[in-house]
């Protein structure tokens, strides 16, 4: 054979192979879109309000962002390491209706802080670094055309400084604030008499002060807290401040900051007696100290039935190794794992190989069949990036700033674009089974029964679920206060003209769903409606 005939088949083969690869990629589910080309700030902390606006929050002490405060507004702060007179925004409000951004005024440093919506829809935000270490702030959301802004409380402060703490709303509507750097205690908002309470679990690990930051805190339907740090987890009674039980350790090395994996509590459903926790990914032990940005991350997830008397971790392999992934509870009960990197650790310029592929974790499938690889994005979102479920079923991606200041001439630059990822359930070929929420009460009490009316183009077969999604505070690869509660429902009864009536029962108590505003989705054959906000009250 001559050289040409040797070359041609291999070229042809390459051509067909590349076609196959392209087709396979084109077929991966999910769609990406850029919502805002320049948000002006890189959001390190992100939360969706009941007015369909999104609070974006970075840190002060970071120098010029790319968004100015409103004309004539500046922050004068002698503590600021970079700008003593700072006219740049470090927080902003994003309006989902118009994709517009309004700068907000934050006074003290919110770096690596924590937050949670209170029962009346006010966002409580606590701690940070420097002059923000003990700060308590509130943001009372308003109509998108309003002028609501941050209010920093001056009459009270946290009992202890909290940098890298986790917040979780409790059944009575108060908030527990867990841990923080060199702060192995818990405290509450509103403050309780005994102030900060010792929580030795956080110091009782091999490398205390390492890999125990931003602990994964989940409120179980028993009312107790499942708290995971490093490789360990406990069942904690926040009333008596007692550890009730130690869970077995999770194999595969530490999972919390700076070895960030992520964690979610799977959807609560049926009689709400069971809760399962999933912890996925993380850095290899010690990578943060050695600063080896090319050490492969973990590819394992552990899943445990936290409400069983003697549970063990069931291990699963993700399709990709991943650190700094975000786990987002979708309205269906599936978990989207998105953002992050495949190598390195959490921290400034500590990671490489961005993981552009989201994966879907289908909790109801048998082990081994739960992961599905989705359409990859193009924007690396690593350290200091966030992911939040939106009321229309999309997922909002913001931030990524692996640098200590804003830096754009870098391999992984400060990221100012805001994107949305649409899971496959929003694809055009499913539009005719997508339900529309027609009527739903604005407020319901625990245990109350009520009717929801939906309309669907194609006839409904079987059950239309009504699922309540909380609006968590997303930061550092963990969504504080994230939960999805599936309501007990009747079959959908035809009501004429493609309308259906669904009888629902509100969650029985605040242990299943703490009081507050939830996104109520109707879900028909895995396709969610646009949510309506529902106020759950005692
Ligand atoms: C919501 O609750 C917080 C905390 O109790 C309070 O500070 C705030 O004023 C309340 N907001 C409204 C609108 O009632
Ligand atoms: C804001 O919009 C609402 C309707 O969404 C309207 O009722 C109200 O008057 C507007 N307020 C201002 C200040 O424009």
| Consecutive H or E run containing 304 | strand 300-305
The answer, yes or no, to whether any atom of ligand 2 lies below 6 A from the CB of 143, is: yes
- Strand segments, DSSP code E, in 23-149 are 31-36, 45-48, 53-57, 75-76, 85-86, 91-95, 100-104, 114-117, 123-126, 136-139
Q: Is 166 within 8 Å of 260 (Cβ atoms)?
A: no
Radius of gyration (C-alpha) of the chain in whole angstroms: 23
Residue 210 pLDDT: 73
Q: Measuring from atom 7 of ligand 2, which residue has the nearest CA?
A: 143
Atom of ligand 1 nearest to the CA of 138: 7
What is the mean pLDDT of the segment spanning 206-212?
68
Query: Percent of the chain having pLDDT more than 70?
Result: 94
Residues near 379 by Cβ (< 8 Å), separated by ≥ 6?
356, 397, 400, 415, 417, 419
For residue 534, count other CB atoms closer than 10 A to its CB: 22
pLDDT band at residue 156 using 50, 70 and 90 as cut-offs: very high
- 436 CB burial (10 A radius; 0-12, 13-18, 19+): middle
- Quickly name the fold that domain 429-537 has: Immunoglobulin-like (2.60.40)
pLDDT at 215 over 70: yes
Model confidence over 379-400: pLDDT tens digits?
999 999 999 999 999 999 999 9
Please tell me the number of the ligand nearest to residue 51's CA: 2
Determine the Cα–Cα distance for residues 402 and 396; give it in Å rounded to an integer.
Answer: 19
Distances from the Cα of 404 to the Cαs of 38, 348, 349, 407, in angstroms?
Answer: 19, 6, 9, 8
Residue with CA nearest ligand 1 atom 12: 120
Mean pLDDT of all residues in 358-366: 97
- Residues facing residue 323 across a β-bridge: 341
For 158-194, how does the pLDDT look when each residue is reduced to its tens digit (9 = 90+)? 999 999 999 999 999 999 999 999 999 999 999 999 9
Cα of 42 vs centre of ligand 2, distance in Å, is: 29
- 287 CB within 6 A, ligand 1: no
CA distance 468 to 101: 27
Residue 60 exposure: Cα atoms within 13 Å on the Cβ side:
28
Tell me which residue has its CA closest to atom 4 in ligand 2. Answer: 143
Cis peptide upstream of residue 40 (ω within 30 degrees of 0): no
What is the per-residue pLDDT across 21-59, written as a single tens digit (0 to 9) for each? 554 556 899 999 999 999 999 999 999 999 999 999 999
Q: Which of 71, 88, 97, 66 is nearest to 417 (CA)?
A: 66
Q: Give pLDDT, residue 516.
A: 98
Task: Give the angle subtended at the CA of 316 by the CAs of 315 and 319, to the nearest 5°.
Answer: 155
Coil, helix or strand for 298?
Answer: coil
Residue 8 pLDDT level (bands cut at 50, 70, 90): very low
Percent of the chain with pLDDT over 90: 90
The Cα angle at residue 360 between residues 285 and 431, in degrees rounded to 5: 160
Instruction: Identify the pLDDT of residue 27.
Output: 82
- What pLDDT, on a 0 to 100 scale, did the predictor assign at position 190? 98
Please determine, for residue 5, whether its predicted confidence score (pLDDT) is greater than 50: no
Look at residues 170, 122, 116, 125 and name the one whose alpha carbon lies nearest to residue 538. Answer: 170
Task: Specify the pTM.
Answer: 0.94
SS3 of residue 428 by DSSP:
helix
Q: Is the pLDDT of residue 353 over 70?
A: yes
What average pLDDT does range 274-302 have in this prediction? 94
Ligand 2 center–CA 74 separation, angstroms: 27
Ligand nearest to the CA of 97: 2
Map out the domains of the chain as residue ranges.
429-537
Distance 98 CA to ligand 2 centre (A): 14
- Under a CB-based contact definition with an 8 Å cutoff, are residues 44 and 388 in contact? no
311: how many CB neighbours lie within 10 A of its CB? 16
- Is the separation of the CB atoms in 59 and 402 below 8 Å? no
pLDDT at 428 over 70: yes
Distance CA 421, CA 381 (A): 13
Residue 179's Cβ-side half-sphere holds a number of Cα atoms within 13 Å equal to 27
Q: How far is the CA of 142 from the centre of ligand 1 (A)?
A: 13
Atom of ligand 1 nearest to the CA of 118: 2
Element (H, E) at 388: strand 385-389
Residue 145 Cβ contacting ligand 2 at under 6 Å: yes
Say which residue, 12 or 170, is predicted with more confidence.
170
Instruction: Please determine, for residue 203, whether its predicted confidence score (pLDDT) is greater than 50.
Output: yes
The residue among 459 and 461 whose pLDDT is bigger is 459
Q: What is the mean pLDDT of the chain?
A: 94
- Burial (CB count <10 Å: 0-12, 13-18, 19+), residue 294: exposed
Q: What CA–CA distance (Å, rounded) separates 85 from 89?
A: 12
Mutate to test the pocket of ligand 2, among 145, 146, 147 (most ligand atoms within 8 A of CB): 145
**Could you tell me the distance, in angstroms and rounded to a whole number, from the CA of residue 427 to the centre of ligand 1?**
40
């Amino acid at each position: 054979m001559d050289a040409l005939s040797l070359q041609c088949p291999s070229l042809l083969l390459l051509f067909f192979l590349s076609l196959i690869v392209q087709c396979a990629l084109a077929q991966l589910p999910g769609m990406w879109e850029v919502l805002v080309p320049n948000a002006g700030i890189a959001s390190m902390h992100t939360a969706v309000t009941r007015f369909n606006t999104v609070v974006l929050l970075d840190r002060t002490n970071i120098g010029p962002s790319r968004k100015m405060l409103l004309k004539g507004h500046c922050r004068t702060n002698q503590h600021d390491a970079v700008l003593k007179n700072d006219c740049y925004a470090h927080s902003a409000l994003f309006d989902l209706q118009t994709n517009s951004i309004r700068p907000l005024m934050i006074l003290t440093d919110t770096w690596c802080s924590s937050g949670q919506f209170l029962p009346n829809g006010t966002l409580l935000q606590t701690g940070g670094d420097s002059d923000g270490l003990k700060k308590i702030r509130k943001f009372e959301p308003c109509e998108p055309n309003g002028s609501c802004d941050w209010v920093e409380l001056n009459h009270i402060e946290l009992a202890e400084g909290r940098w890298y703490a986790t917040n979780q709303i409790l059944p009575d509507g108060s908030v527990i604030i867990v841990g923080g750097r060199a702060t192995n205690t818990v405290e509450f908002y509103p403050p309780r008499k005994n102030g900060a309470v010792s929580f030795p679990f956080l110091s009782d690990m091999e490398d205390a002060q390492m890999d125990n930051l931003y602990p994964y805190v989940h409120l179980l339907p028993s009312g107790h807290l499942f708290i995971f740090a490093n490789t360990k987890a406990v069942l904690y009674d926040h009333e008596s401040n007692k550890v009730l039980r130690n869970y077995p350790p999770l194999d595969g090395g530490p999972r919390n900051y700076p070895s960030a994996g992520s964690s979610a509590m799977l959807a609560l459903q049926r009689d709400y007696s069971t809760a399962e926790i999933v912890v996925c990914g993380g850095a290899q032990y010690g990578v943060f100290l050695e600063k080896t940005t090319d050490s492969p991350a973990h590819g394992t997830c552990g899943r445990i039935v936290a409400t069983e008397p003697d549970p063990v971790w069931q291990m699963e392999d993700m399709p990709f190794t991943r650190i700094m992934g975000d786990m987002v509870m979708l309205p269906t009960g599936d978990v989207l794992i998105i953002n992050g990197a495949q190598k390195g650790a959490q921290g400034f310029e500590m990671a490489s190989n961005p993981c552009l592929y989201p994966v879907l974790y289908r909790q109801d499938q048998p082990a081994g069949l739960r992961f599905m690889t989705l359409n990859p994005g193009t924007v690396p979102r690593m350290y200091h990036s966030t992911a939040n479920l939106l009321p229309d079923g999309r997922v909002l991606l913001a931030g990524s700033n692996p640098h200590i200041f804003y830096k754009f001439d870098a391999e992984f630059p400060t990221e100012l674009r805001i994107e949305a990822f649409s899971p496959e359930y929003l694809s055009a070929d499913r539009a005719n089974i997508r339900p529309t929420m027609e009527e739903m009460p604005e407020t319901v009490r625990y245990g109350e029964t009520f009717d929801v009316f939906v309309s669907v183009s194609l006839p409904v077969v079987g059950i239309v679920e009504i699922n309540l999604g909380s609006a968590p505070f997303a930061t550092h690869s963990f969504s504080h206060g994230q939960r999805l509660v599936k309501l007990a429902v009747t079959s959908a009864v035809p009501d004429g003209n493609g309308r259906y009536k669904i009888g629902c029962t509100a969650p029985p108590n605040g242990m299943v769903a703490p009081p507050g505003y939830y996104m109520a989705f109707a879900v028909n054959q895995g396709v969610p409606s646009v949510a309506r906000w529902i106020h759950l009250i005692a």
